[in-house]
Amino acid sequence: MGATVHAFFDGRWSLFLAGRVSTRGREDFRRRLSGPVEVKREFCTPVDGLSDGELYDLLVSLGAPDGCVLVKDGLVEDELTSLRSALRRVCVSREGALISCIPGRLAFLQCDCGSTRLLLRAVPRPQSANEPSTHDEGTNR
């Protein structure tokens, strides 16, 4: 999980990641996924309108293996599961979640109580001059 957080999330998330050594820290990290999550915008592509099946096809086309790590609000522990199962559960729940497909290279993030869905990919996309460098509460999409 560390490689994914360091690659795609704002630096403050490194502190939350460090707190994951304790049960309370892991719970706090998962709970924070339901709110706004500050990410490095150059690695994000909004995928709000895609179904779990379409997300699955997209992630597989980008090299995602069948197995992934699911970190989701409401889980007691991180879970190794199939990509299809993780996406189905995340999309239905609308809870904050991070699915790490290839650590530090490819992931899916659902945050803002399910209203924001982002493909996180290690290949930076062009950023416009007016676009902020992080995702925050004022720019959900």
The reply to whether 59 falls in a domain is yes
Q: How confident is the model at residue 1 (pLDDT cuts 50, 70, 90)?
A: confident
Of 23, 21, 24, 27, nearest to 2 by C-alpha is 21
Taking only the tens place, the pLDDT of each residue in 28-65 is 999 999 999 999 999 999 999 999 999 999 999 999 99
Per-residue tokens: 117: 């869905």
Domain total in the chain? 1
The reply to whether 101 falls in a domain is yes
The reply to whether 135 falls in a domain is no
Q: How confident is the model at residue 133 (pLDDT cuts 50, 70, 90)?
A: very low
The predicted pLDDT at position 140 comes to: 41
The reply to whether 80 falls in a domain is yes
Determine the structural domain holding residue 78 and report its residue range.
2-121
**Which 8-state DSSP code applies to residue 115?**
T
The reply to whether 110 falls in a domain is yes
Taking only the tens place, the pLDDT of each residue in 85-102 is 999 999 999 899 999 999
Of 81, 113, 108, nearest to 94 by C-alpha is 113
The reply to whether 138 falls in a domain is no
The predicted pLDDT at position 18 comes to: 85
The reply to whether 31 falls in a domain is yes
The predicted pLDDT at position 37 comes to: 93
Of 124, 127, 114, nearest to 36 by C-alpha is 114
Per-residue tokens: 7: 């690659």
The reply to whether 67 falls in a domain is yes
